[in-house]
Amino acid sequence: MAKRDYYQVLGVSKNASEDELKKAYRRLAMKHHPDRNPEDSQAEELFKEVKEAYEILSDPQKRAAYDQFGHAGVDPSMAAGAGGFGGFGFGDIGDIFESVFGGSGRGGNRAFRGADLRYDLSLSLEEAVFGTEVKIRIPSQVTCQSCNGTGAKAGSNPQTCPRCNGNGHIRITQGFFSVQQTCPTCRGNGKIIVNPCPQCQGTGRVQEHKTLSVKVPAGVDNGDRIRLSNEGEAGINGGPAGDLYVQINVRPHPIFSREDHHLYCEVPISFITAALGGELEVPTLDGRVTLKIPPETQTGKVFRVRNKGVKPVRGGTVGDLYCTVVVETPINLTPRQKELLRELEKSISEGSEHRPKESSWLDGVKKFFEDMKL
């Protein structure tokens, strides 16, 4: 079974002092001691787990190794299997090379860039095609104004770490090797905060909501991203802020669909208009156009309306609008209307020239069955 985190076992933070570790160990050791829990089968296992965690974390060298490599850094069997160098992983070898060849190592009080953030922005098709400007409200980690990002209470300053003297790392000698490890006291920062800022609890950052104005360029599509520089989370120790990426999501439109810079729609027409031809108004995103339907138009016929599509956001020619004609069969007919249609059907069926596709299909079916008899 996988081992639990030693800090979690003792119920302390990773910045816990030696006194805090000792107090936590004494309290848990008394609570889980087998002599005090003779009928609890799990008490002995918990007692051993607490004892093991305290033995590792109370030893500065073992604690440093555990902080950097976890259980593999203090368990010889795990380290040998993973690194193959008797307890040294690739991170250790890199530190050894730094010490031999004069590398700069891990300097204290390092600055870290803030995390990037993502915001999903839902737009209508019209907003995506023509562009718009919207305001969004996002949660973000920003620099604490009370301590100016230092993490220290107003009137005080972070102090140089006494264990690593501000370097952010310590050296541990193991046999012939000198290994550089992250300082467990300051966690590599080189400084410790004695009096943490009450506003940010010593982190140097607080969570706030901020309102931003986003200019959406014309022509954006699903999956496009708009980058707002330095609008992500605040950096650490004076590091630069991250960026905010606004992810575009275009909602389905009741009439139009989009593929690249072209628009598509279906236009229902009556079979009378399909047979005799006519004109009808077709909507576009910026108005209406008149579509001329020639006589004898079949369902599925596609009409192209130039320059009524989308102008690509990265430049290029404006797309077109493609209208697919769908002949609609009338419903809810009156008896008189049905009678008229039957008369029309009788008149049309007298000649195959009125229904060329149907006649051709019937001829093909007839030939198919004749071939089967052979």
What's the CA gap between 323 and 287, in Å, rounded? 15
Strand partners, 328: 270
Among 86, 187, 205, 100, which residue's Cα sits nearest to residue 150?
205
Which residue from 69, 359, 115, 85 is spatially nearest to 239, judged by alpha carbons? 115
Q: What is the mean pLDDT of residues 108-137?
A: 87
- Residue 97 binned pLDDT confidence (cut-offs 50, 70, 90): very low
Q: What is the mean pLDDT of residues 24-30?
A: 87
Distinct helix (H) and strand (E) counts, the chain: 10, 15
Q: Which two tokens stand for residue 230?
A: 């330095």
Percent of the chain that is helix, strand, coil (3-state, to 5): 30, 25, 40
Q: Give dist(CA 152, CA 288) in Å, integer.
A: 65
How far apart (Å, rounded) are the C-alpha atoms in residues 254 and 238? 49
pLDDT at residue number 134:
94
**Residue 115 predicted with pLDDT over 60:** yes
Distance, CA of 73 to CA of 174 (rounded, Å):
13
Q: Per-residue pLDDT for 109 more than 70?
A: no
Residue 222, pLDDT above cutoff 80: yes
Dihedral sign, Cα of residue 40, residue 46, residue 51, residue 52: positive
Average pLDDT score over the chain: 81
Output the pLDDT for position 92.
42
Q: What is the mean pLDDT of residues 133-160?
A: 85
Q: Work out whether the CA dihedral 360, 366, 371, 374 comes out positive or negative.
A: negative
Quick check: 117 and 231 in contact, CB under 8 A? yes
pLDDT value, residue 172: 79
pLDDT band at 79 (very low <50, low <70, confident <90, very high): very low
| pLDDT top residue among 152 and 85 | 152
- What pairing do the DSSP bridges indicate for beta strands 302-305 and 321-328? antiparallel
Highest averaged pLDDT of the listed ranges 158-167, 241-250, 357-366? 241-250
Q: What b-and-e string marks burial along 331-340, b requiring 16 or more CB atoms within 10 Å of the CB?
A: eeeeeeeeee
Instruction: Tell me what pLDDT residue 325 has.
Output: 93
- What's the pLDDT score for residue 71? 75
pLDDT at position 107 is 45
Cβ atoms < 10 Å from Cβ of 356: 10
How far is the C-alpha of 328 from the C-alpha of 299, rounded, in Å?
Answer: 9
Average pLDDT of 85-103? 38
Please give the model's pTM, rounded to 2 decimal places. 0.55
User: Does residue 163 register a pLDDT over 80?
Assistant: yes
Contact between 234 and 115 under an 8 Å Cβ cutoff? The reply is no
CA distance 173 to 176: 7
Percentage of the chain modeled with pLDDT above 90: 31
Instruction: Tell whether the model's pLDDT for residue 366 goes beyond 60.
Output: yes
Q: Which residues, in sequence order, are CB contacts of 357 under 8 Å at separation 6+?
A: 298
* 205, 144 contact by CB (below 8 A): yes
Confidence check: pLDDT of 160 > 50: yes
| pLDDT confidence bin for 284, thresholds 50/70/90 | very high
pLDDT at 207: 81
- Give me the residues paired with residue 244 across strands: 117, 228
Give me the domains of the chain, ranges plus CATH numbers. Answer: 6-101 (1.10.287.110), 117-158+193-250 (2.60.260.20), 257-328 (2.60.260.20), 337-373 (no CATH)
Rounded Cα–Cα distance for residues 152 and 73 (Å): 32
Q: Which of the four pLDDT bands, split at 50, 70 and 90, describes residue 106?
A: very low
- Is residue 104's pLDDT more than 70? no
Q: Which residues lie closer than 8 Å to 207 by C-beta, 6 or more apart?
A: 139, 140, 141, 142
